[in-house]
Structure 1
């Protein structure tokens, strides 16, 4: 073992003058183990990480200066000092301070080489001039097939590697030597495909606790639900936080599939050009698949009921999000009174004695989170919920209508994506929203349209979220959720 295996005080670096960035072990309420790292590692990497991190698609703090970095965990999976003449592999958990109360923790997998092949040049992070990696090229390891293969080998042999713990489903057969390739879809996580058999999702933003993408997918798989890509192995960090933090999950790969967004967009695009682009059959089947997932989750995990007080708090939270959104996007102000009335109706619903059944749900369901497969039909993926929300919140039971409302919003996005002013957009979206709800009701027995106040409130809450997101990240798309805001704020809008 190299020096990285020896326990040392947690290293922190600042990018500006004091006050200093406190070590994780010194922060109130943490009381966790110090990071394992050789002296000067983070200090030497900091200038390069400050430039590299904000350029990554999965980095959530774009546009805000980084005040400091701290190591929450470090483990050498392959010797990184180049002494064996082979690539090194270093696993890091790095906390990023951007001046907010909540510091984000990111998982980094860094490779080291004395000479970086030209094929890996785009993955370069930097070449430290001093410290334990002096003179070596440091790069994003998942771009390197030799290093990506190391993760699969670790998952094939469950056990500990320092603060990292690898686990697998009993009886899982993971063949050796499957060739890895980095997925071209880069979002809030990074994925590696092994052969045509498995796909490893590496969670970049790390929070203490079991990630629902593992928790819910395991529950569905163990319940025999075919609407999920079965998890076979996963790994987590132990000791970096108050409880183990999920770092990645290996799932069955579904070759030959297409995501729902692409399929629906093709249909809507045909309609925009005067051809009857129809996706209603697929939408109905997707409604059935969603209902099957909800039914399986209700059978596998606890179900509860919300009464008057909890419904009031739900409406209050939605109103609070609207108030903050109005401050962020002034265009919302003219619609705010009508939108608040939507939430007031929801609060009043509880006063009538109505109760809501709540359970675990997908949490971020849209057409990009579903795959149409040759053998299974629709499969739901990415059960981690909205990554901007705290993990504890994403793991709370919710009314299943939350997922339904989110999917209805997705059909609206498809209809208006190519041309927000397409005259047929509203009719196309409504036709497919109806088909989805019809399929959902057929399979589950309960129609979400029978609770219009609840459905409208959740769809409004989602549209408000979309307005803020588009205003910040994709202003050219802002017209899409604003069209929904106008519809939902109109009297009797549903």
Structure 2
């Protein structure tokens, strides 16, 4: 490895967005290096391949370069190290934290030629395309000259907020192809339920020996007055816990009205996606294949997490019932990773964010149509989490557990009613399919918690037990 690759091999596994935690890094290769700004400071886009065991993953690194010893104190936390590049000793660092350099990204997007929405995901511009391309949706002016701040708390990406107008989401893990977040948000442009898309950045990433236009980042409206759905729900649960003996409907922070409105907003987004993008139906054979994949995940999870074993019979029965559904299942493009952390409440109502799906899955898998009930199941699971996570490690957990179950059930019912009222598939009339999706999500959660937060393992396990009751 080069000096730079050695530094990256030490730095990458310590980043929150690195998806390969728990397995040793065997190789690090800078597959592509695209200069955006030459001189001091310099700015480059790196596509970095990380080899672990039998897998190779790609990551985007926005690399800043300054002469060794000149990195400003406020950027010290972003330092990657010192190495020789171009015969000079340079300090290299994560330039996402350098507003002097990231301002240039907004400037380039503002200066980009406008293109129609249907150009998204198409071939690179004719002629000799730039290695990194800045593209703007037609009719969407972008105002340059703003400095950025990094949003804290993100797990898989890095977002930069420019003033009070824009947020630029940089996709850290790269899969060749059009990112579904850009694709679906552009398809929903003009909807009051999504943040307005403005522009994007792309490059070519090699797949099977051919260059594939691949999304590096997307620029959207910044929802500055918004409140995170998870925060609102957690506040409601706290209010309930502070009033022992009260029913959720009688506690000061009852969330059911918001849950119902969120269900209606979700249905509106699903209807819009079905209008704008292709739809299909799953045949009986495809349903059996879907159930088989759920059973495969169950076997894997049970082998890794023995605590799941008592529930195997109930889970298997739910998947077998899905396989026996004798009517076609409508499918379409969906959110794909839907939960309370993916929605915000603004003064005007609910807004859905982050349509990229599960970042660990390849793009072609995330772009595959699915039943909208998959999103419904994801949100129902999120209500269970919001109700139960505050009891982890609490001595009051046995006393408050009934209140947690009651809060979750009230909001699950309200969301489902809002979803049906808003024109979505009535969850009450499709319990076999919904239950299979919800169980499958809970099994995924069991694996995730066992690997990352063992103290939270009881949350999905208790949810499975409650669903089976």
Q: Please say whether Structure 1 and Structure 2 have the same fold, judged by a TM-score greater than 0.5.
A: yes
Question: Do the aligned partners of 2:100 and 2:147 also contact (CA within 8 Å) in 1?
Answer: no
Q: Distance in 2 between matches of 1:153 and 1:44?
A: 32
Matched, 1:225 2:191: yes
Residues 84-143 of structure 1: per-residue CA shift (max 9 Å, x gap): 4x311011001110122x311000011111200111100000011x34364211111011
Partner of 2:169: 201
Matched, 1:471 2:450: yes
Specify the SS of the correspondent of 2:324. helix
Partner of 1:370: 343
Match of 1:95 among 19, 44, 49: 49
Indicate the structure whose relative CO is greater, using CA pairs within 8 Å and at least 6 residues apart: 2
Instruction: Give the alignment of 1:383-422 within 5 angstroms.
Output: 383-420=355-392, 421=397, 422=400
Specify the SS of the correspondent of 2:243. coil
Residues 222-274 of structure 1: per-residue CA shift (max 9 Å, x gap): xx321000111001112544411111000011111111000000000111122
Partner of 2:65: 112
Specify the SS of the correspondent of 2:31. strand
Q: Distance in 2 between matches of 1:321 and 1:239?
A: 30
Match of 1:257 among 208, 213, 226: 226
Q: Distance in 1 between matches of 2:376 and 2:144?
A: 40
Q: Distance in 1 between matches of 2:445 and 2:152?
A: 25
Q: Distance in 1 between matches of 2:131 and 2:279?
A: 34
Instruction: Give the alignment of 1:135-284 within 5 angstroms.
Output: 135-158=89-112, 162-221=130-189, 224-241=190-207, 242=210, 243-274=212-243, 276=251, 277-284=253-260
* Length, aligned pairs only: 436
Q: Distance in 2 between matches of 1:133 and 1:329?
A: 52
Match of 1:297 among 269, 273, 276: 273
Tell me which moved more, 184-193 or 279-288: 184-193
Q: Distance in 2 between matches of 1:153 and 1:282?
A: 38
Matched, 1:461 2:440: yes
RMSD: 1.4
- Structure-2-length-normalised TM-score: 0.90
C-alpha distance 445-197 of structure 1, shift in aligned 2 (>3 A): closer
Partner of 1:73: 32
Q: Distance in 2 between matches of 1:146 and 1:433?
A: 46
Residues 394-453 of structure 1: per-residue CA shift (max 9 Å, x gap): 101000000000000000001001115332111110000000011111111531121111
Q: Distance in 2 between matches of 1:249 and 1:90?
A: 18
Partner of 2:121: none
Question: Do the aligned partners of 2:295 and 2:319 also contact (CA within 8 Å) in 1?
Answer: yes
Instruction: Identify unmatched segments of 5+ residues in structure 1.
Output: 1-12, 14-42
Specify the SS of the correspondent of 1:127. strand
Q: Distance in 1 between matches of 2:34 and 2:141?
A: 26
Q: Distance in 2 between matches of 1:445 and 1:369?
A: 19
Off by >4 Å, runs of 4+ in structure 1 = none
Question: Do the aligned partners of 2:260 and 2:419 also contact (CA within 8 Å) in 1?
Answer: yes
Q: Distance in 1 between matches of 2:87 and 2:192?
A: 47
Partner of 1:35: none
Question: Do the aligned partners of 1:127 and 1:134 also contact (CA within 8 Å) in 2?
Answer: no
Specify the SS of the correspondent of 2:188. helix
Q: Distance in 2 between matches of 1:407 and 1:373?
A: 19
Partner of 2:428: 449
Partner of 1:482: 461
Q: Distance in 1 between matches of 2:33 and 2:183?
A: 25
Q: Which has the higher strand share?
A: 2
- Structure-1-length-normalised TM-score: 0.86
Residues 197-217 of structure 1: per-residue CA shift (max 9 Å, x gap): 000000000011111000000
Instruction: Identify unmatched segments of 5+ residues in structure 2.
Output: 114-127, 245-250
Question: Do the aligned partners of 1:73 and 1:240 also contact (CA within 8 Å) in 2?
Answer: no
Q: Distance in 2 between matches of 1:106 and 1:134?
A: 25
C-alpha distance 239-462 of structure 1, shift in aligned 2 (>3 A): closer
Residues 372-410 of structure 1: per-residue CA shift (max 9 Å, x gap): 011x31000000001122211110100000000000000
Partner of 2:122: none
C-alpha distance 296-203 of structure 1, shift in aligned 2 (>3 A): same
Question: Do the aligned partners of 1:198 and 1:253 also contact (CA within 8 Å) in 2?
Answer: yes
